[in-house]
Amino acid sequence: MAKIKLGKDATISGLGLVAASVKNVTIDFSKAEADVSTRGTGGYRATIGTLKECQIEAEIVVGAEADLAGLRDAFEDGEPGALTFSDGGGVLSNMFEVMSLSITQELENAIMATVTFKTTADAVGP
Tens-digit pLDDT profile for residues 66-118:
678 888 888 999 888 889 988 867 888 999 999 999 999 999 999 999 999 99
Q: Where are the domains of the chain?
A: 7-34+54-119
Q: Report DSSP state, residue 21.
A: G
Under 8 Å between Cβ of 21 and 61: yes
Does this model's pTM top 0.85? My answer is no
Alpha helices in 19-123 (DSSP H): 65-77
- CATH 3.30.365 describes domain 7-34+54-119: no
DSSP state of 122: -
The string of pLDDT tens digits covering residues 39-72 is 999 999 999 999 999 999 999 998 866 678 888 8
pLDDT digits (tens, 9 = 90+) for 2-37: 577 778 888 888 887 777 888 899 999 999 999 999
